[in-house]
Amino acid sequence: MKVAVASDHGGFRLKEEVIGLLRELGIAYRDFGTYSEDPVDYPDMALAVAEAVRKGEYDRGVLCCGTGIGVAICANKVPGIRAALCHDTFSARAAREHNDANILTMGQRVIGPGLARDIVATWLQAEFQGGRHARRVDKIRCIEQEYYSFGRS
């Protein structure tokens, strides 16, 4: 598994915790930035990870900002991305098992580093269950195709 990771300045410290966990678990990753707490725009960071996951360069992505909301909104604009904002392990597991979420988002101003590590570990270990959930994810793909292929506004 290869994981793309990024944050804005508001999620920088949480991103560093995620990277520490990935190292401990021996999971390959790329840090797309930011590399300090100097202000950056979260859409730039989210788009870099979402595009890398969409292209198949990385299997999954993790994005952090102050709340996790902005990066989730931005990542979900990219076709093929199913970014899930999770601040508990139950949601993280369900996001993978039921929604086949390929990007996890979290907020540094919402949760602490210990919980974030538990959420990431849970999300990485969970697998998509398919079955009735696959039908629903396929419907999401159909919505994307309709809006992006036919120029619907």
Catalytic residues: 65, 98
8 annotated among ligand-binding-site residues = yes
107 annotated among ligand-binding-site residues = no
9 annotated among ligand-binding-site residues = yes
56 annotated among ligand-binding-site residues = no
109 annotated among ligand-binding-site residues = yes
Q: Residue 145: CA atoms inside 13 Å, Cβ hemisphere, count?
A: 6
66 annotated among ligand-binding-site residues = yes
Rounded Cα gap, residues 26 and 140, in angstroms: 32
99 annotated among ligand-binding-site residues = yes
- For residue 34, whether the previous peptide bond is cis, meaning omega lies within 30 degrees of 0, is yes
61, 12 contact by CB (below 8 A): no
Binding residues: 8-9, 66-70, 99, 109, 132, 136
Binding residues for D-ribulose 5-phosphate: 8-9, 66-70, 99, 109, 132, 136
